[in-house]
Amino acid sequence: MSKLLLFGLVFFVSTAIESSAQSIKSDSLITVVVDGIERESHLFVPSNYASEKALPVVFSFHGSGSSPDRQRAVSDLESVAARESFIVLTPKAVYLREENGPVSWNVYRDESGVDDIKMVRALIATVGQRYAIDKTKIYSTGFSGGGRMSSRVGCDLADVVAAIAPVAGIQFPNECNPVAPMPIMTFHGQMDTVNHFVHSEDSPSHWHMGVEPALEKWGSHNGCNGLTNEVEITPETTIVKYLGCSLNASVEMLKMKTGDHTWPGSPLAEEYWSWGMNTVMEISASEIMWSFFKSHTRD
């Protein structure tokens, strides 16, 4: 596992367009209508796109109270996409768990809230009408609340998504019944001060379980045998792999001894440090998760 190669942060100019437009720009905002509600997503398509080659798609969900632009900056996933040739969709949340609270994702299926899973399906259909996408290589990641949303995607879209990689947000949501095994890689700091690595009495109400119990549930669903193998890949980071999983549906975790509620390898590390939140820079979550995604294809 190579150490992090720092990438310069790339900013893009976004242009809002409707999904009914004749074309979608390669770096733009797109809109779909779901149950009468307009839903937005940032779209990044690498400059070397050619219609004769279908590209993978990665969804990247922002954290609660955050935004697509913030998620793009935090993860710098588009730098990886530009080099490795895949499309990135970074949707915008509109769901409110509490009145006047931060926007988030309807992870726990509040019947009075928006249908974020239907939004994901609509975005795939819309982008697929304009671009050649490889429907066997659709993936999902996200940070914090976006990690919980990726967990829900793993539950409800196992017929569509080939693998997920939540960052600081892995859960096994209520009523999670995937129709197929779901390969999972997650990243979590053991010193996470928001979504606690070990669930405690002062954990937030949205944080239903600790990281290891959530992974055990995913491992059980994926037919893993309950045993794990742990390898220290840097002085800070250990990779934990669940053993005996069926159909290549691997379950893996990168846990960081002093990592806080941050995205490993983020270009915004200095900002987090100024808040007293340690960002592990020995690895790049975006680089590692893409390597993981590439090894999983939905049949």
pLDDT digits (tens, 9 = 90+) for 3-44: 333 233 222 223 222 332 334 556 799 999 999 999 999 999
CA distance 54 to 33: 25
What is the number of helices (H) and of strands (E) in the chain?
Answer: 7, 12
Please give the pLDDT value at position 26. 67
Q: What is the percent of the chain where pLDDT is above 90?
A: 88
E strands of 214-277, at which residues? 228-232, 237-242, 251-256
Structure tokens at 155: 């539950």
3-state helix, strand and coil shares in percent for the chain, rounded to the nearest 5: 25, 25, 50
**Please, which residues have CB within 8 angstroms of residue 234's CB and are 6 or more apart in sequence?**
1, 3, 282, 283
Indicate whether 10 belongs to any domain.
no
Containing structural domain, residue 72: 27-294
Please, what are the averages of pLDDT over each run of 10 residues along the chain (299 residues)?
Answer: 33 28 63 97 96 97 97 97 97 92 95 96 97 98 98 98 98 96 98 97 94 98 96 97 94 98 96 93 98 95
Instruction: Report pLDDT for 251.
Output: 98
15 domain-assigned: no
Number of domains in the chain: 1
Q: What is the pLDDT of residue 7?
A: 30
| Residue 241 resides in a domain | yes
Q: Is residue 164 part of a domain?
A: yes
CA pair distance 57, 88, nearest whole angstrom: 6
Q: Using alpha carbons, select from 120, 134, 3, 152 the residue that is nearest to residue 57.
A: 134
Residue 8, domain member (yes or no): no
- List residues bridging with 139 in a β-sheet: 58, 163
Neighbours of 39 (CB within 10 A): 23
| Structural domain includes residue 3 | no
Q: What is the pLDDT of residue 215?
A: 98
143: CATH:
3.40.50.1820
Residue 17 falls within a domain, yes or no? no
User: Two tokens at 168?
Assistant: 């600081």
Helix axes 77-84 and 68-75, enclosed angle (nearest 10): 70
Q: Is residue 19 part of a domain?
A: no
User: Can you give the pLDDT at residue 25?
Assistant: 53
Q: What is the DSSP secondary structure assignment for residue 104, as one 8-state letter?
A: E
